[in-house]
Amino acid sequence: MADPFDIDEALQPAHEPPTAPAPPVAEGDEPPYLASLNPEQREAVLTTEGPLLVLAGAGTGKTRVLTTRLAHILAARLAWPGQILAVTFTNKAAQEMRQRIRALIGDMVEGLGWLGTFHSIGLKFLQRHAEAAGLSSGFSVLDDDDQLRLLKQVMAAANVDEKRFPARQLAALIDSWKNRGLIPEQVPDADAITADGINAQKLYAAYQQRLQQLNAVDFGDLLVKPLQLLRGDAFLLNEYRRRFRYIMVDEYQDTNVAQYLLLRLLAGEDGNICCVGDDDQSIYGWRGAQVENILRFPKEFAGAKIIRLVRNYRSTAHILGAANGLIAHNRARLGKELISGLGDGEPVLIRPCRDDLEEARTITDDIEALLRAGERLNEVAVLVRASFQMRSIEERLIATGLPYRVIGGPRFYERQEIRDALAYLKVVHSPDHDLAFERIINVPKRGIGKASLAKLHEFARNRGVSLYRAAELLTESENALKPKLRNTLRVLINAFERWRREMQQLSPAELAGLVLDESGYIEMWQAERSVQAQGRLENLKELIRSLEEFETLGGFLEHVALVMDADALAEDDKITLMTMHAAKGLEFGHVFLPGWEEGLFPHQRALDDAGEAGLEEERRLAYVALTRAKRRAVISFAASRMVHGLWQNNLPSRFLEELPKAHVRVDDTGHAFFGWAMKDGGLRDTGGDVPGFDTAEDVEPVIIDPAREQAPAPQPPAPERKGFATPTSPAPTSRPAQPASSRATSAPAPPTATEDPRIASARRLLAASRATPPRAATAGAAPVFRKGERVRHRQFGEGTVLEADGNKLTIAFDAIGEKRIMASFVERA
C-alpha cells in the first residue's frame, strides 16, 4: 500500500510559498488573467483567505471565477497544486475545469491530484487508506446493478419478501442514509423500521457486512467511509487539514449532508474554503442535496465573506425576465435578480399542442426553419423533464433526418451487453468479484442453472471463499460434482486463467476482444439475427474502442465505476437532446422545452413526495431550463400524451401562468381554440375547458377513425441509442427538399402540399373535436358526472364527486383525500 501520508506531495513547503514555475507577479502590474473580469468576479478571485461564498446566478461566469481563482492561487505561489482540493459536481465539470486551468497556467495543472467529484476524491482517499477502512487494496466499486443484486441476496437471506419491500426501495433508503453520512449503527430508531414492520436498519447492517466480505464498496461508501475514517482518527484528519491549504467547491447548493460534513471537517475552523453555488439552481434535493447548506453557510463558517454575481452574459433580457419572474414565486431562497448584459431579444414562446406527436412535429419544423436560416445545430437543444419524453422526439428527429445526440438517456454502461462484457473483464481483473462472476457464469448458456449455482454458493459460504474459488476447488476434487458440470466449470476457470495471463501482454482493448470472442459472448449475439442483436454487437465494438484510451484494465474499470456516462463530445454539428437535469451548466442559442404540463412538470411525484418543497424544486428546475437559452426559448405543452401505453390528458403547467406577461408570447397560430390565448398581453386561460374541445364553431365536422388518427406515420426503425455514439442520420443537406412534416401526417382532410403544417394539424384537430367527444382516442365518450356520485380512479381508488365543473371534477377520494381530476380519468363506481 502507498504511504498514506505521501509526504512528498502533501508536505512540500507548505509554509513557504512554492518558488519554481510560477510567473512573477510584479507590484502594480496586474496579471493578465484578471483583466477580463468584472469587479465582483475579480473580488472573488482575489479573496483567497478565509471562508468565501460566491452566489453565482446562471450565466454569470461562475466557472470562470473558479478556474481563475485556482490559477491565481498557484500563480501567486500561495500553494502547490497538490495542496488544493477542488470539488466539482460532475466528472464533465472536472474535466472542463482542468482544461480551462491548463489554458491559464499550463502543465502545472497536472499536479492537481485532488480535483474531481466528491466520489472520485473519496475513492482516491479510500485507496490510500484501504486497510484502515477495513478493505484490502484492489477493492471494487459496485455499480448500482451489482448493488441491487446484492441487496436481493441480503433480503432473501433475511427472509424478507421482495413483494412487500422491493429491493429498489431498500436501495433508496440506504442511499438516503449514506447521503446523510450514517452508518448502520447511527440510523435513528425512528427510521429503522419501515411502515411494513421490516427492520431496514438490520438489512443495511447485513448489506454492509456482505460488502466487506466481497471487498467492495458502493457509491455511497465513497463518501461515508472517508467521513468515518477522518472522524475517528485525529492524526489522519490533521494531516489532511494541513495538506489542503485551499478548498474550492462548485455547485455547493447540490451538496448533501455527508459532503457538507466532509468539507466542514477538512476546512476546520479557519480554513480557506470557497464555495460557489446558486440556491435557485438547487435541483438535486431528491438525491439528498440540502439547499440549507448554502443558506446557512454564513452561520457555519464564521466571518464568511459573501459575493454575489448577478451580471448575466448569456441570455437576452426577455429570457431572463421570464426566468426571474418565475423563480420569484419561490419562498425558500436568498433572493436575487439577474441582470442581462445583452439586448431584449425575443419573448419566450409558449406553444399549445394537441399531443406529444404534434409537439415533436412543431419542434422539428422550427429546427428546420432555423437550419434554413443558417443556424448551427450545435446551438439547438431540446430539454425534457423525464427521459421517456425523449422517445417521441427522437422518433420525429429520425423521421425528419435531423442529426442529434442524446445525452443522459439510458446510459451506455447500463446496457445489458455492456454490463455482461464488463462483468467478464471484472472477473479477469479480480476473480473474487462474486457478483460479476455470478452474472456471466451462465452467459452464454453453459448449462449452469439455479441448482448448480446454489451448490457453488453453499460451498463458498462454508469455506469462506469466493464463488470463483469455490468453482476452482470443486472442480479439483473428483466426485464433488457431476462430470458434465465439473467439466463445464473447469473449461470456464481455465479460460479465465488464460485471460489473466494474457492481461500482462495485451492492451486492455485487445484483451477485451479476446475475452468476448473466446467466451462465446460475441457468438451468442451473432447467433441471434435480430436488429437489436446487431445494435448490441455495435455497442460491444464501441466498448472495445473506448478501452483503447486506457493503459490498464484496472484503470478502465475504475473509470467506469465513477463515470457511468460516456459523454458525447459536442464537436459535430448536432441537436442536443437531454433532460433538464443534465443540461445544468450548459448553454444553447435555441432551447426547446416540451412537456410543460401538470403532473409531468411539475412532476406529480415531486409534489407527492415533498409537497411545497417539491414544487419549489421543480420551479428551480424550470428556472435552470429557461436560463440555458441564450437567444430563444420555446415552451410547449400537449393536451394529451401517451404514458404507459395509455392516452393521458393533461392541463397546462402552472408554471406557464407564473411567467410574466411582458416576456412571453403565446403561439396562437391556429390554436386559439385551445382556450389559451393572450389576454391583456398575458397568458390566460380563456375559459376553454379541456383544451381543444370547446370552441370549434365554424368548422365542418368530419368523422375520423381515432385509432388511425393516432397511429404514427410510417417511420424507419429507431436505431439503438447509444451513450456516446449517435444515430447515423443523413446530413441535413441530403434530406428531401420537402419539409418532412407534411409527409408524416395522415390527415382526414389531406392538406395541400403548400399548406402550413400547423394549420393542417389545427384543421384536423378541429375536425376531431367536433366529431368525437373528449378522450375519443382512448375509450369513447367520457360520462358526465354529478355532485355526490361515487367514482373510481385507476390510481387513486374510489371517491365521491364534490364538484363538477364540466370536465374538471373535484373528488374526495377515500384513500388520499381531495384532488382535481379530469372526468375522462374516472368511471362510475
Partner DNA sequence: GAACGTATCTTTTTT
Partner DNA sequence: AGATACGTTC
Q: Note the residues at the interface with DNA (CB under 7 A).
A: 89-91, 117-120, 144, 162-163, 166, 219, 283, 286-287, 385-388, 408, 416, 442, 445-452, 485, 562, 564-565, 579, 581-582, 603, 605-606, 609, 643-645
CB of 532 to DNA, least distance (A): 8
The residue assigned the cell 490533521 is: 238
Q: Which is the catalytic residue, given 64, 351, 486, 628?
A: 628
Of 311, 524, 280, nearest in space to 420 by CA: 524
CB of 816 to DNA, least distance (A): 17
Grid coordinates of 310: 448577478
Residue 608 among the catalytic residues: no
CB of 803 to DNA, least distance (A): 28
CB of 337 to DNA, least distance (A): 26
Grid coordinates of 815: 384513500
CA 153 – CA 151 distance, rounded (Å)? 5
Residue 389 among the catalytic residues: no
The residue assigned the cell 460488502 is: 211
Whether residue 616 contacts residue 331, with contact meaning beta carbons closer than 8 Å, is answered with yes
**Residue 641 to residues 136, 390, 554, 607, Cα–Cα distance (Å):** 52, 13, 45, 20
Which letter does DSSP use for residue 11 in this model? T
DSSP 534-594: HHHHHHHHHHHHHHTT-S-HHHHHHHHHH----PPPTTSS-EEEEEHHHHTT--EEEEEE-
Q: Which is the catalytic residue, given 40, 41, 60, 62?
A: 62
Which residues, in sequence order, are bridge partners of residue 339?
A: 311
Residue 251 among the catalytic residues: yes
Q: Which amino acid is at 557?
A: L
Range 74-78 contact pairs with CB under 8 angstroms and sequence separation of 24 or more = 74/22, 74/105, 74/108, 75/22, 75/23, 75/25, 75/31, 75/33, 75/105, 76/17, 76/22, 76/25, 76/48, 77/17, 77/18, 77/19, 77/22, 78/17, 78/48, 78/245, 78/246
Q: Which is the catalytic residue, given 12, 63, 228, 800?
A: 63
- Give the nearer residue to DNA in terms of CB position, either 448 or 522: 448
CB of 642 to DNA, least distance (A): 7
CA 801 – CA 788 distance, rounded (Å)? 5
Which three-class secondary structure state does DSSP give residue 224? helix
DSSP 459-523: HHHHHT--HHHHHHHHHHSSSSS-HHHHHHHHHHHHHHHHHHHHHHHS-HHHHHHHHHHHTTHHH
Which three-class secondary structure state does DSSP give residue 256? strand
- Give the nearer residue to DNA in terms of CB position, either 106 or 449: 449
CB of 449 to DNA, least distance (A): 3
Grid coordinates of 467: 464463488
Residue 549 among the catalytic residues: no
Q: Which is the catalytic residue, given 117, 255, 281, 772?
A: 281
- Give the nearer residue to DNA in terms of CB position, either 162 or 798: 162
Which residues, in sequence order, are bridge partners of residue 87?
A: 116, 249
CA 79 – CA 73 distance, rounded (Å)? 6
Which letter does DSSP use for residue 387 in this model? G
Residue 394 among the catalytic residues: no
Q: Which is the catalytic residue, given 250, 379, 472, 598?
A: 250
CB of 176 to DNA, least distance (A): 11
The residue assigned the cell 478502465 is: 556
CB of 580 to DNA, least distance (A): 8
- Give the nearer residue to DNA in terms of CB position, either 581 or 632: 581
Tell how many helices (H) and how many strands (E) occur in the chain.
32, 25
CB of 264 to DNA, least distance (A): 19
Which three-class secondary structure state does DSSP give residue 242? helix
CB of 330 to DNA, least distance (A): 16
CA 291 – CA 249 distance, rounded (Å)? 14
- Give the nearer residue to DNA in terms of CB position, either 259 or 466: 259
Which letter does DSSP use for residue 143 in this model? -
CA atoms within 13 A on the CB side of 206: 18
Task: List, in sequence order, every beta strand (DSSP E) within 361-487.
Answer: 380-384, 404-407
Which three-class secondary structure state does DSSP give residue 400? helix
CA dihedral sign, ordered 686, 691, 697, 699 = positive
Phi, psi angle pair for 428, to nearest 5°: -60, -45
Residue 90 among the catalytic residues: no
The residue assigned the cell 457511468 is: 564
CB of 646 to DNA, least distance (A): 8
Q: Which is the catalytic residue, given 40, 143, 218, 251?
A: 251
Phi, psi angle pair for 760, to nearest 5°: -60, -45
Q: What angle do CA 87, 90, 91 make, to 5 degrees?
A: 90
Which three-class secondary structure state does DSSP give residue 178? helix
CB of 607 to DNA, least distance (A): 9
Of 187, 181, 216, 223, nearest in space to 203 by CA: 187
CB of 764 to DNA, least distance (A): 22
Which three-class secondary structure state does DSSP give residue 776? coil
Q: CA gyration radius for the chain?
A: 29
Catalytic residues: 62-63, 250-251, 281, 628
